[in-house]
Amino acid sequence: MRGPRALATVGAVAHVICRIAFISDGRFFASEDDPYRAYTAFLIKGDPLRLIGRLWVLGFEGCHALAQWAGVPARWAGICVNTLALGALLVGLLRIMERLAPGRNTLRWCIAALLLASPMTITLAHSSLSDLLATCLIVWAAERFICYANSGQLGAIAQAAAILGIATWVRYEPWLHAALVVPAVVFMEWRVLKRRRVGAPALAMLAWLGPIAWLLAQQLRFGDPLHFYANIVETVETVSGPPARLRVLATHADSALYWFPHVVLLATLAWWHRRDTLSWKVSWFFTVTLLLGVVFQLVGGHAHGTFAARLSYGIEIALLPWAAVGLQWCVDNRLRSTVAIAALLFSLTALRPAAMEDRDSVAFGLSLLRSEETIPPDAKLLVERPLQRPPFGWASVGVLWGHWDQTIWVTPQTGGWTVVEATDVRAPLNLTEDGFRNWLSRDALQSAWTQSDRMFEAVSTRWSCVDVTPYGDHQLVARRTCPNEGP
């Protein structure tokens, strides 16, 4: 059938075009978190103990670190990891579709088109964010669980549990999946398979090893297994305020209308016209499994501080099988205009701008990458690191430039400054105002990326002669020899 193949081709072409557009436009980052994640991965590469963080599980950053250890630049490591995750997610969805509607190959083409042309998928695949990998792992765990439910194979449930255990080190949402997998297996054994094998729940407990290992690591590292939870609550309430579940729900609704309205529309058409196409039991299981992450977020009640729309990615993936049915219905009914409009919508919405607030830092980092701005190899670059977090745009300068040994982060504090080498963040130098001005006199300090008037004033007044290059609202201040000082 030509229609589905054409749509899959449109999706693949849209994805490639948008990836090229991201690269040519310098959109190495999909959100403010991106450069910070890449920098964290760089630190983990040098010190694996950093995998046990104060807040977030860092399995995804660990994958970044492995990519960087293999020689991939920090600016590309996240994209490489997520490209592999995208391929695995596509294969997983195709396997799910085969179980939902055996023998309906046209639906596999349709779901491939929808995934490849998804604006959110393209954005996440071209990022350093963990949502794509976590969703991929959950889809594969669901596929393995469905295989277990159909065949009763203990190996399948062991694979599902192991995948969930890995997923719990990528994001916290899979912790809910891991908690529910054992009761789900007990139900399957007692009520569906009628076997009551003790080995099945025991194998399902493999999923619990991920959270248990994390709690144990927190105990060994910080002396408190729930050390991370207190820090998360403090951080998210500082950024987004107290829990507000209605606001989280509104964010998900807004994301659905802004990022994947075509998926919602096509899924609605499928429910209206072809609701008997997919296996009801399997489709409901898949939908509920993917929506558990949303339930986890609603229970917590905290909105994410940066690029909150990505947290709705599970909703889009949950609807994709039904959206594929809706898309096939459009093709079968020769609604060519509808299909054409949908394909055009995929292509155009996929070119959404990256969700970066601090684009000035990205522009400056790209100028360093392209050698439009040069820093002498024996000189240091000061990069102002605002105390407010997020945004994390400041990290993009180091990530894009890649010369970590020449990068120094400078954070303005009340009554002073904190200075830290990018390669040795465990040894910060706290300086008073006068101490910072004296410190600026060092010969190795030649350039500064300033974001605040305070930083600009401190640098420009201490360095007698400077060249100032504006980048939007920020400036590159370069120290130069004054005419009366000689060579």
Asked if residue 114 is part of any domain, the answer here is yes
Q: What is the pLDDT of residues 408-441, one digit of tens each?
A: 999 999 989 999 999 988 889 999 999 999 999 9
Q: What radius of gyration, in Å, describes the C-alpha atoms of the chain? A: 25
Asked if residue 464 is part of any domain, the answer here is yes
- Cα distance between residue 167 and residue 207, in whole Å: 9
One domain for residues 111 and 198: yes
One domain for residues 338 and 417: no
- Specify burial of residue 54 (Cβ count, 10 A radius: 0-12, 13-18, 19+): middle
Question: CA of 308: how far to CAs of 33, 128, 243, in Å?
Answer: 11, 15, 15
pLDDT of 464 reads 83
One domain for residues 86 and 118: yes
What are the residues whose beta carbons fall under 8 Å from the beta carbon of 87, sequence distance 6 or more? none
One domain for residues 338 and 399: no
One domain for residues 282 and 426: no
pLDDT of 20 reads 72
Residue 299 has pLDDT above 90, yes or no: no
Mean pLDDT of the chain: 86
Q: What is the pLDDT of residues 316-350, one digit of tens each?
A: 999 999 999 988 888 777 665 566 556 555 555 54
Residue 471 has pLDDT above 80, yes or no: yes
Q: What is the pLDDT of residues 167-195, one digit of tens each?
A: 999 999 999 999 999 999 999 998 888 88
Of 349, 373, 404, the domain-final residue: 349
Residue 24's SS3 state is: helix
- Cα distance between residue 289 and residue 200, in whole Å: 19
pLDDT of 6 reads 66
Segment 353-369 mean pLDDT = 82
Question: CA of 229: how far to CAs of 129, 143, 368, 470, in Å?
Answer: 21, 31, 38, 41
Which of 57, 50, 7 is CA-nearest to residue 323?
7
One domain for residues 294 and 373: no
Check whether the bond before 119 is cis (ω within 30° of 0). no
Segment 144-169 mean pLDDT = 95
Segment 191-216 mean pLDDT = 91
Q: How many domains does the chain have?
A: 2
Asked if residue 354 is part of any domain, the answer here is no
pLDDT of 380 reads 94
One domain for residues 129 and 240: yes
One domain for residues 281 and 426: no
Segment 60-78 mean pLDDT = 92
Contact at 8 Å (CB) between 132 and 31? Answer: no
Asked if residue 271 is part of any domain, the answer here is yes
**Whether the predicted model's global pTM rises above the 0.85 cut:** yes
One domain for residues 397 and 298: no
Residue 138 has pLDDT above 80, yes or no: yes
Q: Which of 131-145, 323-337, 413-427, 456-470 has the highest mean pLDDT?
A: 131-145
Using a pLDDT cut of 70, give the percent of the chain over it. Answer: 89
Asked if residue 139 is part of any domain, the answer here is yes
Contact at 8 Å (CB) between 267 and 322? Answer: yes
1 pLDDT tier (thresholds 50, 70, 90): very low
What number of other Cβ atoms are within 10 A of residue 444's Cβ?
10
One domain for residues 408 and 339: no
> DSSP characters for 162-230?
HHHHHHTTT-STHHHHHHHHHHHHHHIIIIIS----THHHHHHGGGGHHHHHHHHHHHHHHS-TTHHHH
One domain for residues 300 and 402: no
One domain for residues 341 and 426: no
Task: Give the pair of three-digit tokens for residue 329.
Answer: 């219905």
Q: Range of 422's domain?
A: 359-485
